[in-house]
């Protein structure tokens, strides 16, 4: 029989549920379990932690919950573990794992992959005048840098497995490499197998966010049963790169074509230029098809040679932030809360001036309960609500300046708006602002090292003879002819005819939109032009110097992808906005009205 490798995805972020690994182990039959803990924003707190405690800086969620609680079953089943839980300190992570295993009387061959940490090169990077690859900002002050890590690919992981590792602990790798590495090892894929590398990367992309592939965050959420026991994804991978997505029998959640398609589009910019260390992927002709009960087959990924450059992310301190929340109840709650928040900001500004301190560099007031994140799309009737929570954010370069804000924030409960209830828990805190600076480094200047059993193996980054160039890409054939209106036309919310999912891409976000029926796609394209989408999300581009919406076609999935550039106020931890990770943008877009023939609108 043809070889099939079964991989379970047991973690999508630092904070994912601890039920995933035991659930997958109970189901059995897995060759690998992969766990993804690192996001760009996650690196900053791990870097700060390592500075304070040199024995830390890794994902303790993994060592104290997943590893400690399941290592005997992992050993008994012989399932191999691949995870980036090493964070900024893979060596310390391995040492902790080995102590826990020794206490339990078991042993494992644990490999670590290092070489991604480029913190020692920060002064050199700063001296060369590097600019941020998306926003063009100058390189930060080296004294304020917490972390600097290149994204490694799947090759070092494959090398660690070939060396006999039972467990592979990495630092910063691209998320999909956790799956691609095992597939490269098992099937012997080489650096020239671009289509297979792209397919394996897509498999990793589907399961890197855990249950997002099995009904989590699905547009049709009411169709997803039993969230409490949602199944985590299992992929069955073949040597040609095709794979099937499924989940353990008897678990909740939902494996269906649109849920998997949504995850494929999650956090993707150009689907024909999805650049990774090992390959540049083209997902435009990917097909997602049913393959049985709770089984979906994914085929059609294409690949191009990698660019020979590695994305590198620096995290650094950029001043300080205060965020406080104040409930206000009663008549005209929203107007009272807004006036009160503005009064507090005015008062603090005057106090700073009196102390010869600079003004607050940024402030933001959002009234939760009035659709504050919807901009012009907010329901005006909600302005009359009788209950809101005022969320006030402020930033300053000086932590002491924000101490004035923290001191004054509670004072209105007896001096300003009637109905201010106070927030009787912990007082708001002041925290450093974590900023991300991304750039590219030549791959030949970064060498990964695999360490296992006292030995060390260097693994060079891929060096393609002919690096990726945009001219290699063949754009999909798409009919741009406007659809012809019929006699019986109607206007309905986009959600009636499409699924959608959104995600952040630094200071940008994407919304992948998938037609519920292929016949509807031309009408979706006619409605969701770049100009129309930019107008719909006008409030998201506030402060942008070069706002833009780029639209890409994925005819293989009857989908389009909308990439909104400079749209999140800095994004991630750098943003004061309520939704800096763009989790709700697809939900908002699905309310956009779309005009099409009545015959194409499904019954409710």
DSSP result, 377-393? GS-GGGGG-SEEEEEEE
The reported pLDDT for the residue numbered 340 is 97
pLDDT in tens, 71-82: 999 999 999 999
Residue 475 lies in a domain: no
**Band (426; pLDDT cuts 50, 70, 90):** confident
CATH number at residue 393: 3.30.70
List, in sequence order, every beta strand (DSSP E) within 397-429. Answer: none
Same domain, 498 and 579: yes
Dihedral angle over CA of 550, 554, 560, 562, nearest 10 = -30
The reported pLDDT for the residue numbered 41 is 82
Q: Give me 324's structure tokens.
A: 């406080």
Q: Average pLDDT, stretch 141-160?
A: 98
User: Rounded to two decimals, what is the model's pTM?
Assistant: 0.97
Mean per-residue pLDDT of the chain = 96
Q: How far is CA 251 from CA 163, 229, 296, in A?
A: 35, 6, 16
State how far the Cα of 539 lies from the Cα of 374, in Å rounded to an integer. Answer: 8
Q: Average pLDDT, stretch 469-497?
A: 94
- Three-class SS of residue 141? coil
**Nearest residue to 249 via CA among 459, 29, 502, 567:** 29
Residue 380 lies in a domain: yes
Same domain, 297 and 374: no
Q: Average pLDDT, stretch 121-140?
A: 94
Residue 45 lies in a domain: yes
Question: How many other C-beta atoms can be found within 10 angstroms of the C-beta atom of residue 578?
Answer: 13
Residue 463 lies in a domain: no
Contact 203, 235 (CB under 8 A): yes
pLDDT in tens, 231-259: 999 999 999 999 999 999 999 999 999 99
Q: Which of 304, 327, 355 is the last residue of a domain?
A: 304
Residue 123 lies in a domain: no
The reported pLDDT for the residue numbered 40 is 86
**Band (201; pLDDT cuts 50, 70, 90):** very high
Same domain, 180 and 78: yes
Question: How many other C-beta atoms can be found within 10 angstroms of the C-beta atom of residue 442?
Answer: 12
The reported pLDDT for the residue numbered 221 is 98
Same domain, 71 and 191: yes
Q: Would you say the C-alpha torsion 319, 567, 122, 157 has a positive or negative sign?
A: positive
**Band (604; pLDDT cuts 50, 70, 90):** confident
Contact 516, 492 (CB under 8 A): no
Residue 207 lies in a domain: yes
Q: Average pLDDT, stretch 365-379?
A: 96
Question: How many other C-beta atoms can be found within 10 angstroms of the C-beta atom of residue 375?
Answer: 15
Q: Which of 436, 469, 503 is the last residue of a domain?
A: 436
Structural domains counted in the chain: 3
The reported pLDDT for the residue numbered 423 is 72
User: ∠ CA 382-388-393 to the nearest 5 degrees?
Assistant: 115
Beta bridge partners of 515: 498
Same domain, 78 and 176: yes
Of residues 572 and 512, which shows the higher confidence score? 512
Q: Which of 436, 452, 470 is the last residue of a domain?
A: 436
Same domain, 293 and 339: no
Residue 509 lies in a domain: yes
Contact 272, 286 (CB under 8 A): no
The reported pLDDT for the residue numbered 304 is 98
Q: Average pLDDT, stretch 369-391?
A: 96
The reported pLDDT for the residue numbered 135 is 85
DSSP result, 260-280? HHHHHHTT-S-TT-EE-SS-E
Task: Check whether 418 has a pLDDT greater than 80.
Answer: yes
Same domain, 106 and 229: yes
Same domain, 199 and 57: yes
Residue 361 lies in a domain: yes
Q: Average pLDDT, stretch 473-487?
A: 92
DSSP state of 205: H
Same domain, 180 and 275: yes
The reported pLDDT for the residue numbered 424 is 66
Same domain, 190 and 234: yes
pLDDT in tens, 50-94: 999 999 999 999 999 999 999 999 999 999 999 999 999 999 999
Q: Which domain, by its residues, includes 340?
A: 314-436
pLDDT in tens, 286-329: 999 999 999 999 999 999 999 999 999 999 999 999 999 999 99
Q: Give me 329's structure tokens.
A: 């109840």
Same domain, 509 and 528: yes
**Band (163; pLDDT cuts 50, 70, 90):** very high
Q: pLDDT over 90 for what percent of the chain?
A: 94
- Strand 455-460, strand 362-368: pairing: unpaired
Same domain, 397 and 498: no
pLDDT in tens, 574-598: 899 999 999 999 999 999 999 999 9
């Amino acid at each position: 029989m043809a070889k099939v490798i079964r991989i379970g995805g047991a973690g999508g972020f630092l904070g994912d549920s601890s039920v995933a690994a035991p659930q997958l182990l109970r189901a059995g039959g897995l060759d690998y379990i992969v766990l993804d803990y690192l996001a760009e924003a996650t690196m900053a707190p791990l870097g700060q932690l390592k500075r304070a405690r040199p024995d830390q800086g890794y994902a303790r969620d993994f060592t104290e919950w997943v590893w400690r609680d399941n290592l005997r079953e992992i050993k008994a089943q012989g399932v191999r573990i691949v995870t980036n839980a090493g964070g900024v300190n893979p060596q310390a992570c391995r040492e902790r794992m080995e102590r826990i295993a020794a206490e339990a009387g078991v042993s494992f061959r644990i490999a670590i992959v290092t070489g991604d940490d480029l913190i020692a090169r920060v002064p050199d990077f700063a001296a060369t005048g590097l600019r941020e690859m998306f926003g063009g900002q100058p390189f930060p002050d080296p004294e304020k840098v917490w972390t600097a890590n290149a994204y490694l690919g799947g090759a070092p992981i494959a090398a660690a497995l070939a060396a006999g590792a039972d467990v592979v602990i990495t630092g910063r790798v691209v998320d999909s490499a956790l799956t691609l590495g095992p597939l490269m090892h098992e099937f012997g894929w080489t650096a020239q197998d671009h289509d297979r590398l792209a397919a394996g990367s897509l498999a990793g992309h589907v399961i890197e966010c855990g249950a997002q592939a099995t009904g989590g965050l699905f547009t049709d959420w009411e169709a997803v049963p039993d969230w409490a026991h949602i199944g985590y994804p299992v992929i069955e991978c073949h040597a040609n790169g095709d794979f099937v997505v499924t989940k353990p029998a008897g678990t909740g959640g939902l494996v269906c074509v649109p849920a998997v398609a949504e995850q494929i589009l999650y956090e993707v910019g150009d689907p024909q230029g999805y650049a990774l260390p090992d390959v540049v992927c083209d997902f435009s002709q990917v097909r997602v098809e049913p393959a049985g009960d709770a089984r979906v087959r994914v085929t059609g990924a294409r690949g191009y040679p990698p660019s020979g450059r590695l994305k590198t992310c620096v995290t650094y301190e950029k001043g300080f932030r205060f965020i406080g929340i104040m409930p206000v109840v009663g008549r005209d709650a929203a107007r009272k809360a807004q006036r009160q928040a503005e009064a507090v900001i005015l008062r603090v500004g005057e106090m700073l001036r009196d102390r010869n301190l600079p003004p607050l560099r940024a402030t933001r007031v959002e009234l939760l309960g009035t659709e504050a994140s919807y901009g012009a799309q907010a329901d005006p009737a909600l302005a009359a609500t009788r209950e809101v929570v005022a969320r006030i954010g402020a930033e300053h370069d000086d932590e002491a300046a924000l101490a004035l804000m923290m001191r004054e924030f509670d004072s209105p409960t007896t001096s300003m708006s009637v109905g201010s209830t106070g927030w009787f828990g912990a007082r708001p805190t002041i925290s450093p602002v974590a900023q991300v600076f991304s750039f590219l480094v030549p791959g030949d200047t970064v060498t990964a090292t695999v360490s296992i059993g006292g030995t060390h193996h260097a693994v060079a980054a891929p060096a393609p003879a002919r690096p990726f160039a945009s001219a290699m890409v063949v754009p999909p054939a798409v009919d741009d002819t406007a659809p012809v209106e019929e006699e019986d036309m109607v206007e309905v919310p986009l959600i009636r005819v499409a699924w959608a999912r959104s995600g952040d891409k630094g200071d940008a976000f994407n919304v992948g939109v998938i037609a519920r029926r292929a016949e509807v796609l031309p009408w979706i394209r006619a409605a969701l032009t770049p100009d129309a989408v930019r107008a719909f999300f006008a409030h998201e581009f506030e402060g942008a110097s070069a706002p833009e919406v780029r639209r890409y076609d994925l005819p293989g999935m009857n989908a389009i992808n909308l990439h909104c550039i400079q749209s999140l106020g800095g994004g991630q931890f750098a943003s004061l906005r309520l939704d800096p990770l763009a989790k709700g943008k697809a939900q908002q877009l699905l309310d956009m009205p779309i005009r099409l023939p009545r015959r194409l609108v499904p019954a409710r």
